[in-house]
């Protein structure tokens, strides 16, 4: 009897794990592809970003490409998505499962060295990805798709290329 109970519990855990993985795949499905930046804003003003293209992959990785004219590859980042209270959330770089940046080493003389982490909110409407990013690790995630002077947020509007 104990063996059957343990087996049943194990199967239940396995099924819940598979269901959670399927939820993640569905959540990321609309994000996967190649996106070209068509407009950007920082400090409430139009902004010419150095990133011009983002390639989002199924495996939890995304590529950032720069403005050199040839779309030169800049970096490969891990990403995580989740449904936030108000908006869908995307984190690039090192974060905990609940979206908090992972802090690095304590520096000599005090202070903390942060690992790169970009916390974002996003929405997809009619083939357009709107992404509002927060690049300062100590600042909270953006709460709206706007920027204002000194908030360290950047708003990107991207169109699907592939």
pLDDT of 10-61, one tens digit each? 433 333 333 344 434 335 788 999 999 999 999 999 998 888 899 999 888 8
Q: Which pLDDT score is estimated for 115?
A: 52
Return d(Cα 79, Cα 94) in angstroms, integer.
8
Domain 32-160: which topology? Lipocalin (2.40.128)
Alpha-carbon torsion angle 26, 28, 29, 31, nearest 10: 150
Of these ranges, 49-63, 110-124, 127-141, 144-158, the one predicted with the greatest mean pLDDT is 144-158
Q: Is the pLDDT of residue 90 over 70?
A: yes
Contacts of 160 (CB under 8 A, 6+ apart): 33, 34, 35, 127, 128, 129
Q: Is the pLDDT of residue 159 over 90?
A: yes
Enter the DSSP assignment of 76.
Answer: E
pLDDT of 136-153, one tens digit each? 767 888 999 999 999 989
Per the model's pLDDT, the better-predicted residue between 143 and 111 turns out to be 143
Stated pTM of the model: 0.69
Contacts of 157 (CB under 8 A, 6+ apart): 37, 38, 39, 40, 128, 129, 130
Q: Which pLDDT score is estimated for 105?
A: 46
Return d(Cα 122, Cα 133) in angstroms, integer.
9
């Amino acid at each position: 009897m104990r063996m059957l109970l343990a087996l049943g519990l194990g199967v239940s855990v396995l099924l819940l794990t598979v269901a959670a993985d399927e939820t993640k795949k569905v959540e990321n499905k609309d994000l996967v592809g190649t996106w070209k930046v068509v407009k950007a804003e920082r400090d409430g003003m139009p902004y010419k970003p150095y990133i011009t293209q983002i390639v989002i992959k199924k495996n939890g990785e995304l590529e950032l490409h720069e403005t050199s004219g040839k779309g030169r590859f800049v970096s490969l980042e891990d990403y995580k998505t989740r449904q936030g209270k108000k908006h869908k959330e995307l984190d690039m770089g090192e974060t905990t499962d609940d979206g908090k940046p992972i802090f690095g080493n304590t520096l000599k003389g005090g202070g903390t060295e942060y690992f790169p982490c970009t916390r974002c909110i996003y929405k997809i409407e009619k083939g357009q990805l709107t992404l509002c990013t927060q690049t300062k690790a100590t600042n909270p995630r953006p709460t709206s798709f706007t920027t204002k002077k000194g908030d360290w947020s950047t708003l990107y509007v991207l169109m699907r290329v592939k």
